[in-house]
Structure 1
Amino acid sequence: MKSLSAKNKKWWWIVVIAAIIAVNFFASVIHKRIDLTNEKRFTISPPVKKILGNMDGVAEVTIFLKGDMPAGFKNLSTSAEELLQEFKEYANGRINYKLISPDEQMPGTTRTYADTLSSLGIVPINLKVQLKAGEQSQYVYPAALVQYKNKILPVNLYSGTQTVITPPELNSSEALLEYKFADALYKLMENKKPMIAYSVGNGEPTGDNVYDLVENVLRKNYSLFTLNIAKEPVIPDTFKLLMIVKPTVSFTEDEKLKIDQYVMRGGKVIWFIDKLEAEMDSLQIKNQVIAYDRNLNLDDLLFKYGVRINPDLIMDLQSDYLPFSVNGKDQFDFLHWNYFPLFESKQNSLINKNVGLVAGRFVNSIDTVGAAGIKKIILLSSSANSRTIETPALISGEENRNAPEDEAFKKRDIPAGVLLEGRFSSLYKNRVSQQEMDSLEKYGTPFLTQCINNNKMIVVADGDIVLNGVQQGSPLPMGVNSYTVGTQYEYQFANKQFVENCIEYLINTANLSEARAKDYTLRLLDPKKVAEQKTNWQVINLALPVLVIVLIGIIYQWWRRKKYSV
């Protein structure tokens, strides 16, 4: 027995080494993570796992958040790296990523990466820092480039404003990283882009003022076609979405029937409607304009679907700036123009989640009306200090010479954009002639009195939200006020992000809603307590660990002396 025991002790190290090798082998094959965070920060949603698992090529991701920058953007960079490492695990190693400073020179060229990013439409954030020599501009590019099979797509990693960087906006940007990277990969992996129809038959804009919408939103991500509804027998079902942007010409009953039946067959529609005729061009020329109804003949159709666009205008104390003449013709001062309301996101939908202020111009209010089986979600609404004025209304540039009467701005949350979901009923039930029904049958689209399945559409009572300004013949980004460009009041609002979210929500081919719905809880320290208790916590964090180690050493030495002393 003694010899057997000695033999076992002799070879114990072989058993230990074998156990270590076995543990490492199984650890390399079997990956299991436990996410202990309340918001499941480190859990990849199932649709994203599916996209990563379907990759049959290698994706190269370049993150341009390297170098000297504020702590918030460094955290955003770290979060992006950690997320891509998670992506790499589920993609079986088919994702490579690296960090690059945008000021670095591109190999084989004299250009920097910043030049390339600008050409791809990525706008840097200008952080002004005070140095001894004076004010200096520091540019940060919170962006990434995703390359997959000779295709490349830029990804904007920061979802906040371009001027005031806040912890909640950075926190929201971190929460959206999974969605943004997954959405980019999905679009690069798609062999066929969804088809979108842009209506052009009723006076919709087609010039430079829709450049950003057409080139940087629609054509970049979708197959875009123009559609004259009057000239088509039916609206083809191949179009996943119909966009009707700021029409100025009345719709005929035949056109409305085609739209109605397109909706009944499951087609999605976004309406950006200016019910009233009120334009800045007229105001600049005459210094006043009368807002009156365009008579678009859409009231009954939209009413049937569950909304009514009112013939009024929203005035809001939370509004954008315009230059007004003061003390003479050559002196101008920037004042809030109450007819340019700024809509806050209520965070009540995947569409407006983590979306900043959306700028409108001469916006009508919306009422929701009874429609069986239709769910209504308000996407855009006014601030707590707003009002409406009935039309016809005289709008004058003289209004802002004196401060508005705050007592009149008592209304709050006046709706201006609504999401409708459910089984819509046809406006033309029991109203279609036999000839019209035969015509629909001829083209393989029999008349339907109700949607075949649940459907959805978005109605926004402002056509200017999706338009961009033009300055010196060059289109500006969507959400930028052309009157404030080059001044301290220049600001890019979240119009483009709102429009992109609307389109993605309606089409929703990747089913990434779970990833988009993620929200990280921001746990901020109390600034007052930090200031009061700063020294105490510094002593606790720095001195206490050292004292504990010294105390343990003293006790250990005392115990050794006591144990081994003769």
Structure 2
Amino acid sequence: MSKSKKTQSLIQMGLFLGIVVFINILANARLGNFALYRSFDLTEEKRFTLTDGTKNLLRNLDEVVYVKVMLDGKLPAELKRLRASTIDILDDFRGQSSLVDYDFENPMAGKPEQVNARMEQLRKEGMFPMSFTVKKGAQRDETPIFPYAIVNYKGRAYPVNLMENQDMTQSSDVVLNNAVSLLEYKIANAIQKLQETNKPNVAFTMGHGEIGTNERKDFEGSLRKFCNTGTLFLDSVTSISPEISALIVAKPLRPFSEKDKFKIDQYVMGGGKILWLLDMVRMDKDSLFAHPEYIPGDYQLNLDDLLFRYGVRVQPNLVLDLQCSPIWIATGKQGTQQQRQPIAFPYHILTLSNPDHPVSKSVAPVNLLFASTIDTAIRTKTPVKKTALLSTTPRTRLQYLPARLGLDFLRYIDPEKFNKGPQVVAVAMEGTFPSMYENRLTPEMVSGLTQLGLQYKSVSVPTRQIVVSDGDVAKNKYLPTREQVVPLGYNDVENFIYANKEFLQNAVEYLLDKNGIIAARGKEVRLRMLDTTRAQDEKTWWQLVNIVFPLLLIALFGFGYSWWRKRKYARV
């Protein structure tokens, strides 16, 4: 080859390499927050596509968000998937904003005294190690892990438990799949909370026998992480302030006056959000224990017409389900010792969560006590979307009032009679709600509004409400002698905590959500399990496909290339 041709070849190679480098630079470059590169999500469920709410949140960042993830070092194979998925999500975040940065850390690295000091510091910040079960054939190994991500923004930090509230009774594959599905929501939600300079205000109504401060301490404590909480006596205010972002009506026992209902109605018309936690039947476990036969009545709350106008009816009945939590039953005495045994109690139902709604997605069973059914087939004057959040299993019974109840039936439960099918016990409503007082305004109501400088509204702006047919879902046990709060959803027979608090916290976050971040909680990452039986049966075939077939292709290519060269140069 001549010298000029060599020079020309080198120039061409240099130009080619320069173009490749230039394209590579462009593919990783940005103009401000706008990335010059693009990616395509070809998955069926769009698992790698961020929701619009998350994108808007990230594009409006004005300072660096730094995420430190505690998933480094030697991890079980199952957790490596969670680590890889976390990297993918954070890379997607960084694709939307150059102000997102992250790093991984192994909290177990270092000398024992360093690890102990680090563990103590993390505990003070509310982060605790958890035990992750790894299944190896017939063996089950317990591995301690620290599945946390610490989100830092403007000098503040928010810890995120990537495995929080997972149902650890499920297989590790399902648990990890649920954790992966919630990664975007949990990290985006943490950023949103750190951005808020003023926390939203959430008020518990009082004055109608609602559960007290000690009985809602666990629930209220979880809300205080992201909002301000307080109480509101409806009879002491002329109207409900719009500064109250959400209202919680938690197990009232006495009727609401028309004045109080009118205040609630106009609060909803102005865009107010309400979480209704209602008992319709005057029933509790102690009443059954105290009487051989008990005839429960219904709570006359005077809310039926208001809820009916909004599109639901909480029925005055009791739903029984064979999927239920147990209680202790006294069986006699042995000497001076009281003997008791656990027995399944169908009135304490364990719910099924709707996987297609962000409030209930991936939520473990919620324990409802003496719940009623909710009728959602009510037509409304304005468009209201109603979605079941919690329901029973198909193996249910219904008891309508009046009814004679006792504990003897527990000895003779006939599964054949539990045939009423799934029943809705919690529902979300979203849309524009009609006022109950349209064409029903009294002169007193008109005068009160005029004095306040307010105008009556007959239709609400778009807003949300949630109705749960059990007030005890938010009620924790309180031991006054020890001043101790028993965790919400705790069952002392099983020594197990049900997901009551997680569900209620999700419900309030859904009501308060303004930026659409909650939509990320509804994302689905489908678990495509390997058919192990088929894989074992076809093992030899796939070994041939993956080992022999590629070698044959290489040999065929070599033979063809050699033949082509001989033919080409033979002609010359």
Distance 2:225 2:220 in 1: 8
Q: Which whole-Å CA distance do the structure 2 matches of 1:274 and 1:225 have between them?
A: 22
Instruction: Quote the offset at 1:137 in angstroms.
Output: 4.8
Aligned with 2:373 (options 365, 371, 391): 365
Matching residue within 310, 328, 333 for 1:323: 328
Q: Does structure 1 conserve the Cα–Cα contact (< 8 Å) formed by 2:64 and 2:101?
A: yes
TM superposition shift of 1:410: 0.5
1:436-455 to structure 2, matched below 5 A, reads: 436-448=445-457, 450-455=458-463
The question of whether the paired residues in 2 share the 8 Å contact of 1:129 and 1:138 is answered with no
Identity %: 31
Q: Take 1:228 and 1:398, find their aligned partners in 2: how far apart are those partners?
A: 42
CA contact (8 A) 2:321 2:396 kept: yes
1:391 aligns with 2:397: no
Specify which of 518, 521, 539 is matched with residue 516 of structure 1: 521
Q: What secondary structure does 1:375 align onto?
A: strand
Change (3 A) 1:123 1:343: farther
Quote the Cα distance in structure 1 between the aligned partners of 2:269 and 2:229. 22
Q: Root-mean-square deviation (CA), in Å?
A: 3.4
Report the alpha carbon displacement of residue 98 of structure 1 after superposing the two structures with TM.
1.3
Report the counterpart of residue 421 of structure 1 in structure 2.
430
Number of the residue aligned with 1:57: 63
What number of residue pairs does the alignment pair up? 556
Question: Are 1:336 and 2:344 counterparts?
Answer: yes
Query: Compared with structure 1, are the counterparts of its residues 124 and 526 closer, same or farther at alpha carbon in structure 2 (3 Å cutoff)?
Result: same
Conserved 8 A contact 1:469-1:481 = no
**Aligned counterparts of 2:177 and 2:428: Cα–Cα separation in 1:** 26
Tell me by how many angstroms 1:70 deviates: 4.6
CA shift in 2, pair 1:130/1:377, >3 Å:
closer
CA spacing shift, 1:324–1:512, aligned 2, 3 Å = same
Shift of 1:424: 2.3
Gaps of 5+ in 1: none
Query: Counterpart of 2:490?
Result: 480
Amino acid at match of 1:434: P
Deviation at 1:129, TM superposition (A): 7.3
**Secondary structure, counterpart of 1:96 in structure 2:** strand
**Which TM-score applies when normalising by structure 1?**
0.87
1:493 to 475, 482, 498: 498
Which one of 180, 189, 194 corresponds to residue 183 of structure 1? 189
Instruction: Tell me how far apart the structure 1 counterparts of residues 73 and 10 of structure 2 sit (CA, whole Å).
Output: 55
Distance of aligned partners of 1:25 and 1:66 in 2 relative to their CA distance in 1, 3 Å threshold: closer
Which one-letter code corresponds to 2:474 in the other structure?
V
Say which of 330, 347, 355 aligns to 1:347.
355
- Amino acid aligned to 2:401: T
Counterpart position of 2:44: 38
Once the two structures are superposed, what CA deviation does each residue of 1:159-194 show, in whole Å capped at 9, x if it has no partner? 530332353443233122112211111111121222
Query: Do the aligned residues in 2 keep the contact of 1:63 with 1:143 (CA within 8 Å)?
Result: yes
> Is the deviation greater in 168-177 or in 243-252?
168-177
- Over 3 Å counting, the alpha-carbon distance change for 1:71 and 1:292 in structure 2 is farther
Q: Would you say the 8 A contact 1:105–1:113 is kept in 2?
A: no
Matches of 2:483 and 2:140, distance apart in 1: 31
Task: Kindly provide the amino acid, as one letter, of the partner of residue 354 in structure 1.
Answer: S
Give the conservation status (yes or no) of the 8 Å contact 1:252–1:297.
yes
In 2, Cα distance between equivalents of 1:28 and 1:401: 69
Give deviations 1:516-538, integer Å, cap 9, x for gaps.
33212322222321232234434
Mapping for residues 89-168 of structure 1, pairs under 5 Å: 89-101=95-107, 110-113=116-119, 116-117=122-123, 120=126, 124-125=130-131, 127=133, 137-158=142-163, 160-168=166-174
Moved more, 84-93 or 235-244: 84-93
Look up the equivalent residue of 2:250 and give its one-letter code: V
Deviates more, 1:175-184 or 1:16-25: 16-25
Q: Distance in 1 between matches of 2:117 and 2:293?
A: 49
What pairs with 1:395-410 in structure 2 (closer than 5 Å)?
Answer: 395-402=405-412, 404-410=413-419
Query: Equivalent of 1:194, from 197, 200, 203?
Result: 200
- Cα deviation digits, residues 146-169 of structure 1 (max 9, x gap): 222222222232353033235344
Task: Point out the more displaced range, 181-190 or 423-432.
Answer: 423-432
Q: What one-letter code is carried by the residue in structure 1 that aligns with 2:494?
A: T
For residues 426 and 323 of structure 1, the distance between their equivalents in structure 2, rounded to whole angstroms, comes to 46
2:179 maps to a residue whose letter is S
Q: Which residue of 2 aligns with 1:18?
A: 18
TM-aligned CA deviation for residue 465 of structure 1 = 1.6
| Paired residue secondary structure (2:450) | helix
2:476 to 468, 476, 480: 468
TM-score, normalising length: structure 2: 0.86
- In 2, the alpha carbon distance for the partners of 1:499 and 1:122 equals 22
CA contact (8 A) 1:48 1:512 kept: yes
1:80 corresponds in structure 2 to 86
Amino acid at match of 1:59: V
User: Structure 1 counterpart of 2:302, which letter?
Assistant: N
Q: Assess if the C-alpha contact under 8 Å between 1:290 and 1:393 holds in 2.
A: yes
Alignment of 1:153-302 (within 5 A): 153-158=158-163, 160-216=166-222, 218-283=223-288, 290-302=295-307
Task: State the distance in 1 between where 2:75 and 2:6 align.
Answer: 63
Q: CA deviation at 1:276?
A: 1.8
CA contact (8 A) 1:53 1:92 kept: no
2-side partners of 1:341 and 1:72: how far apart?
33
Seen in structure 2, the aligned counterparts of structure 1 residues 298 and 122 have a Cα distance that, compared at 3 Å, is farther
In the alignment, the residues of structure 2 paired with residue 202 and residue 551 of structure 1 have an alpha-carbon distance, to the nearest angstrom, of 84
CA distance in 1 between counterparts of 2:332 and 2:557 reads 78
CA offsets 1:389-423 (integer angstroms, 9 cap, x no match)? 12344443443234x11121101121211222333
What is the CA distance between 1:74 and its match in structure 2?
2.5
What residue in structure 2 maps to residue 434 of structure 1? 443
- Partners in 2 of 1:22 and 1:496 — Cα distance? 53
Q: Go from structure 1 to structure 2 and tell me whether the alpha carbon gap of 1:291 and 1:74 turns closer, same or farther (over 3 Å shift).
A: farther
CA distance in 1, matches of 2:129, 2:448: 50
Counterpart AA for 1:401: R
Q: How has the CA–CA distance of structure 1 residues 400 and 453 changed in structure 2, closer, same or farther, with 3 Å as cutoff?
A: same
Distance change (3 Å), C-alpha of 1:300 and 1:107: farther
Separation in structure 2 between the aligned mates of residue 535 and residue 514 of structure 1, nearest angstrom: 45
> How far 1:80 sits from its partner (Å)?
0.8
Aligned partners of 1:415, 1:13: CA distance in 2, in Å?
69
Out of 365, 377, 380, the residue aligned to residue 390 of structure 2 is 380
Query: For residues 252 and 113 of structure 1, do their structure 2 counterparts lie closer, same or farther at Cα, with a shift above 3 Å needed?
Result: same
- Could you list the per-position Cα deviations for residues 57-92 of structure 1 after superposition, in whole angstroms to 9, with x for gaps in the alignment? 222323233455554332122101221122123220
Q: Contact 2:168/2:175 (CA < 8 Å) preserved in 1?
A: no
CA distance, structure 2, for counterparts of residue 207 and residue 508 of structure 1: 25
Which amino acid letter does the alignment assign opposite residue 469 of structure 2? A
Moved more, 424-433 or 186-195: 424-433
